[in-house]
């Protein structure tokens, strides 16, 4: 690139000295020219030269045609004067009228005279060559430096020998996930493996769209994975979700299994990927829309969701411990249904972590995030105590109660089940505003309807009781996820359900 600029500069200077296309008159010493008044017309250059033939000094002046200029248009020197030593070419009328001195042996370049071909080439090309050489050396040093730096960077995160270990050709997604659940760190695959995996996924079909971007089904070594692709302006969401998923010891069978995060820079924009397990049933919302559920499935779904949330909320102390995490956007669309009809809690992008040592929350939580329909009363009226981490857990429990209501309505007991509906479907319009929700939930203190007939079926009766205790206006009075988990475990034993 730099070389090109130098070449352009040289051309520009040459072009300034040279007047192309216009013809000019020159003094001419050839016999033919004498008839024309010792002058000639040319489209090229006038040339003067001196030579000492037989010790006799001779001035030679001639016209040089355009095609004898080398290179054409931007002459470094002019041809057509073979055998002449001391050559001066110029580009104005009669400019070759000057008298050149005979070159002396000691100063072949001829002081005050034109330069010969070799000298001219040497003078022009020499510095140019040196400059190019310097540039090349500079470029080489820069690249070497850069490579050494990159290499050092890579050494910190990447160890190719490990890459091998994790990603040997015959290893499948199952092996990888097994590694994940047993790997010592408890926080997921090493970053370089994540990157390698992400970059060898083949996207298959789009399976969802959201405010952050798109979700795709992808294939990796014969297995399906889900790929959440964030638009570039959602980089912060991408980073935050990847960060939360890689919380130490987060992995749990009822929390969406995270596989990899990758930011691919393709030159024009950055592709932000989150790769996770793929669950063909999709979200709990989709599942309940399509199918009614048996009592057994209802308890399975509810218990597994409670287990996931309990694990998320729980703080585990010790070096291999995990901080308490509050989800803050729990809803049926953010819970996935696994093949075994257990839930996996997903979409941790808005989650907050609790640092119990300093009793602080790891990001400054803004007041009202999440989905308005599922916002707890204290979130809607902004009375939530954001300095207190447990407040966020209580808000999650309120939302879990709503999800339970969605599930229980679809429970097929004694041949009755209701159509799928979102919570508060009968009280607020679709896509309700905060104000609309606040009126219903805080002012009128309304909650989704729990039908009386649920009392006749033990499982539905227990579910209804749990919901009520999730929906208290006072967050602190609500059940904990662990409490709900225990109640539902008992229920499942009672109902003789293998979970
Ligand atoms: C002399 O000049 C005439 C007209 O300008 C031109 O046609 C002719 O070629 C010239 N002769 C030489 C030898 O340059
Ligand atoms: C060059 O030509 C010009 C115009 O014809 C003339 O005045 C001048 O004396 C010439 N010079 C030489 C050195 O012949």
- CA of 96 relative to ligand 2 center, distance in Å: 9
- DSSP result, 193-259: HHHHHHTT-EEEEEEEE-SSEEEEEEEETTEEEEEEEE-GGGHHHHHHHHHHHTSTT---TTBPPEE
Residue 373, pLDDT score: 96
The pLDDT value given to residue 254: 97
Beta-bridge mates of residue 24: 42
The CA distance from 306 to 484, in Å, is 6
Ligand 1: which atom is nearest the Cα of residue 33? 13
Q: Domains in the chain, ordered, with CATH? A: 16-97 (2.10.60.10), 158-278 (3.30.200.20), 282-499 (1.10.510.10)
| Ligand 2 atom nearest to 99, measured from its CA | 13
Tell me whether residue 228 is annotated as binding: yes
CA 286 to ligand 1 center in whole angstroms: 95
Protein residue whose Cα sits closest to atom 6 of ligand 1: 36
Cβ(74)–Cβ(18) below 8 Å? yes
Q: Write the burial class of residue 109 (CB in 10 Å: 0-12 exposed, 13-18 middle, 19+ buried).
A: middle
Q: Say which residues have a Cβ less than 8 Å from residue 359's Cβ, sequence separation at least 6.
A: 389
Ligand nearest to the CA of 41: 1
Would you say 303 and 499 are in contact if contact means Cβ atoms under 8 Å apart? yes
For 235, phi then psi, to 5°, come to: -55, -40
CA of 98 to the centre of ligand 2 (A): 9
CA 39 – ligand 2 centroid, Å: 8
Ligand 2 contacts (CB < 6 A) are: 27, 39, 94, 97
**Ligand 1: does its nearest atom lie under 6 Å from the Cβ of 40?**
yes
32 Cβ inside 6 Å of ligand 1: yes
For ligand 1, say whether the CB of 36 is within 6 Å of any of its atoms. yes
Q: Is the CB of 360 under 6 A from ligand 1?
A: no
pLDDT at 83: 57
Indicate which ligand has the atom closest to the C-alpha of 31: 1
User: Within the chain, which residues score under 50 in pLDDT?
Assistant: 7-13, 15-16, 105-113, 152-161
What's the confidence (pLDDT) of residue 234?
Answer: 84
Q: Which ligand is nearest to the CA of 94?
A: 2
Catalytic annotation present for 329: yes
Strand partners of residue 64 = 45
What residue owns the CA closest to ligand 2's atom 9?
Answer: 97
> Which residue's CA is minimally distant from atom 8 of ligand 2?
97
Site to substitute for ligand 1 among 26, 28, 36, 64, most atoms within 8 A of C-beta: 36
Atom number in ligand 2 closest to CA 59: 13
- For residue 36, the CA-to-ligand 1 centroid distance in Å is 6
Write down the pLDDT at residue 435: 95
What is the SS3 assignment for 81?
A: coil
Marked catalytic residue, from 329, 381, 390, 396: 329
């Amino acid at each position: 690139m730099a070389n090109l600029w130098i070449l352009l500069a040289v051309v520009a200077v040459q072009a300034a000295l040279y007047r192309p296309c216009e013809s000019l008159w020159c003094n001419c010493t050839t016999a033919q020219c004498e008839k024309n008044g010792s002058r000639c017309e040319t489209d090229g250059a006038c040339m003067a030269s001196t030579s000492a033939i037989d010790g006799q000094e001779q001035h030679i002046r001639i016209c040089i045609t355009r095609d004898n200029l080398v290179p054409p248009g931007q002459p470094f020197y002019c041809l057509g004067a073979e055998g002449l030593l001391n050559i001066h070419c110029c580009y104005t009328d009669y400019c070759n009228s000057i008298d050149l001195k005979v070159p002396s042996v000691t100063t072949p370049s001829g002081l005050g005279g034109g330069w010969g071909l070799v000298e001219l080439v040497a003078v022009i090309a020499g510095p140019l060559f040196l400059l190019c050489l310097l540039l090349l050396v500079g470029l080489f040093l820069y690249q070497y430096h850069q490579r050494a730096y990159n290499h050092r960077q890579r050494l910190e995160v990447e160890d190719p020998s490990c890459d091998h270990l994790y990603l040997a050709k015959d290893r499948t997604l199952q092996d990888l996930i097994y590694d994940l659940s047993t790997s010592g760190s408890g926080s997921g695959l090493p970053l370089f493996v994540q990157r390698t995996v992400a970059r060898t996924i083949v996207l298959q079909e789009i399976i969802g769209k959201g405010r952050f971007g798109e979700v795709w089904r992808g294939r990796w070594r014969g297995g399906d994975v889900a790929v959440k692709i964030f638009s570039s302006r959602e980089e912060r969401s991408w980073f935050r979700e990847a960060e939360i998923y890689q919380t130490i010891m987060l992995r749990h069978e009822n929390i969406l299994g995270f596989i990899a995060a990758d930011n691919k820079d393709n030159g024009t924009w950055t592709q932000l990927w989150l790769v996770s397990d793929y669950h063909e049933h999709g979200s709990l919302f989709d599942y309940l829309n399509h199918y009614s559920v048996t009592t057994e499935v209802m308890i399975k779904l509810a218990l597994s969701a409670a287990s996931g949330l309990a694990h998320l909320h729980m703080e585990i102390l010790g070096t291999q411990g995990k901080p308490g995490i509050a989800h803050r956007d729990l809803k049926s669309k953010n819970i996935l249904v696994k093949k075994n009809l257990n839930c996996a809690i997903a979409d941790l992008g808005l989650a907050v972590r609790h640092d119990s040592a300093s009793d602080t929350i790891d990001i400054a939580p803004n007041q009202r995030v999440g989905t308005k329909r599922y916002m707890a009363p204290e979130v809607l009226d902004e009375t939530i105590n954001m300095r207190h981490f447990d407040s966020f857990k209580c808000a999650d429990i309120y939302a879990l109660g709503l999800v339970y209501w969605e599930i229980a309505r679809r429970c097929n007991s004694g041949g009755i089940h209701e159509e799928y509906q979102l919570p508060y479907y009968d009280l607020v319009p679709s896509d309700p505003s905060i104000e609309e929700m606040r009126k219903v939930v805080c002012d009128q203190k309304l909650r989704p309807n729990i039908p009386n007939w649920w009392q006749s079926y033990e499982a539905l009766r227990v579910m209804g009781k749990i919901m009520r205790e999730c929906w208290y206006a006072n967050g602190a009075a609500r059940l904990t996820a662990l409490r709900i988990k225990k109640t539902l475990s008992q229920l499942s034993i009672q109902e003789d359900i293998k979970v």
